[in-house]
Amino acid sequence: MSFAIGPYRLDSRVLLAPMAGVTDPPFRSLCHRFGAALCGAEMLTSDQTLWHSAKSRRRMDHRIESGIRTVQLAGAEPAQLAEAAKMNVALGAQIIDINLGCPAKKVCDRLCGSALLSDEPLVARIFDAVVAAVDVPVTVKIRTGPDSATLNAVRVADLAQRAGIAAIAIHGRTRAQRFEGQAEYDTIRNVKQHVDIPVIANGDITTPAQALAVLEYTGADGVMIGRGAQGAPWIFQAVNEHLGKVKKSSAPVLQDLQDDCAPIILEHLESLYKFYGEHTGIRMARKHLSWYCQRLSLPAPARGELMAAADSASQFACAERWFGGAHQRRSMIMTGT
């Protein structure tokens, strides 16, 4: 069953997790096309004095956005977050997401993200201020708590619901865990049992089977995939097929999608060059190409050549050569030739 965030009924139950430096508009558009119902944007500081940077300006740019336009704000001062939310709605944001999940102690020199989870009264003031400031849905992304001794996600979710927050996403790790250990889903399940607003489960979901298992175990309305989508934007289609949301193509679906990946990767490169320009475009592309190489098990020289390409034309040509041959190489491996 799909669910709604405010007035927006989502097409499916699988969402792209926000990742700074990864979920830029080109990648979000690609994931949306493959069926990610909502694509989390990279966090933006609520401190407007820092918005002149190219990075911040890009994070407010929705021109090529094909899905629902979200902006995720990181900050610690309720009034500043409220003002930043208003400005972004004026610039086209359709959902404002509050970042209470980033494990870094300071973001842009200010205490924010999951560091705020230990100050519940402040969290409540932030929720109230942002919800009152805008007439679009406000969502929040949290962790399970500051540390294993203080798993306060249920209390934070309760504060969110009381304040009128439209949905809550929970990464199943504490702040102290950063990205270590395994995500746990018991706390997410507890949250789901305590609140009525949509709950989105996140953490270590990398396959369609895991997505289904987490949905069933937690009772969550949706799942959010982050690192599992790096170099694999097609994972959303595979998950949707597994959940019965879209018609199944021949199994195994992930393999089929990967076999047809060359045009997708090349289109991704083109949109990165266009969005960032030549200089930053090839640098951003290197990161994604490296993930594509891993996913498709390309041989080491492929990665080496792709990383060494110094301009977009040679990078593109190199990608065309290596990824265009991915299907053929895979057939050779599979038939043992």
The residue (of 208 and 228) whose beta carbon lies closer to ligand FMN is 228
* Residue 202 engages ligand FMN in binding (rule: CB under 6 A): yes
Tell which one of 11, 19, 217, 256 touches ligand FMN (CB under 6 A): 19
119: its two tokens: 């100050």
Q: Which positions from 99 through 158 interact with ligand FMN, judged by CB under 6 A?
A: 99, 101-102, 141
Q: Which positions from 49 through 88 interact with ligand FMN, judged by CB under 6 A?
A: 72
Stretch that binds ligand FMN, among 50-58, 226-234, 275-283, 287-295 (CB under 6 A): 226-234
Q: Which positions from 20 through 39 interact with ligand FMN, judged by CB under 6 A?
A: 20-22
Q: Is the peptide bond before 252 cis (omega within 30 degrees of 0)?
A: yes
The residue (of 229 and 261) whose beta carbon lies closer to ligand FMN is 229
Tell me, by CB under 6 A, how many residues bind ligand FMN: 22
Instruction: Tell me, letter by letter, the H, E, C secondary structure of the chain.
Output: CCCEECCEECCCCEEECCCCCCCCHHHHHHHHHCCCCCECCCEEECCHHHCCCHHHHHHCCCCCCCCCCEEEEECCCHHHHHHHHHHHHHCCCCEEEEEECCCCCEECCEECHHHHHHCHHHHHHHHHHHHHHCCCCEEEEEECCCECCECCHHHHHHHHHHHCCCEEEEECCCCCCCCCCCCCCHHHHHHHHHCCCCEEEECCCCCHHHHHHHHHHHCCCEEEECHHHCCCCCHHHHHHHHCCCCCCCCCCHHHHHHHCCHHHHHHHHHHHHHHHCHHHHHHHHHHHHHHHHHHCCCCHHHHHHHHHCCCHHHHHHHHHHHHHCHHHHHHHHHHCC
* Residues sharing a CB contact under 8 Å with residue 255, sequence separation 6 or more, in sequence order: none
Tell which one of 15, 17, 68, 156 touches ligand FMN (CB under 6 A): 17
Tell which one of 15, 76, 159, 205 touches ligand FMN (CB under 6 A): 205
What residue is closest to ligand FMN based on CB? Answer: 226
* Residue 94 engages ligand FMN in binding (rule: CB under 6 A): no
Could you give the residue numbers annotated as active site? 102
The residue (of 7 and 21) whose beta carbon lies closer to ligand FMN is 21
The residue (of 17 and 68) whose beta carbon lies closer to ligand FMN is 17
Q: How near is the Cβ of 181 to ligand FMN at its closest, in Å?
A: 12
The residue (of 42 and 241) whose beta carbon lies closer to ligand FMN is 42
Q: How near is the Cβ of 212 to ligand FMN at its closest, in Å?
A: 15
Tell which one of 43, 126, 133, 136 touches ligand FMN (CB under 6 A): 43
Tell which one of 34, 36, 42, 152 touches ligand FMN (CB under 6 A): 42
The residue (of 19 and 212) whose beta carbon lies closer to ligand FMN is 19
Q: How near is the Cβ of 21 to ligand FMN at its closest, in Å?
A: 6
Residues in contact with ligand FMN by the rule CB under 6 A: 17-22, 42-43, 72, 99, 101-102, 141, 171, 202-205, 225-228
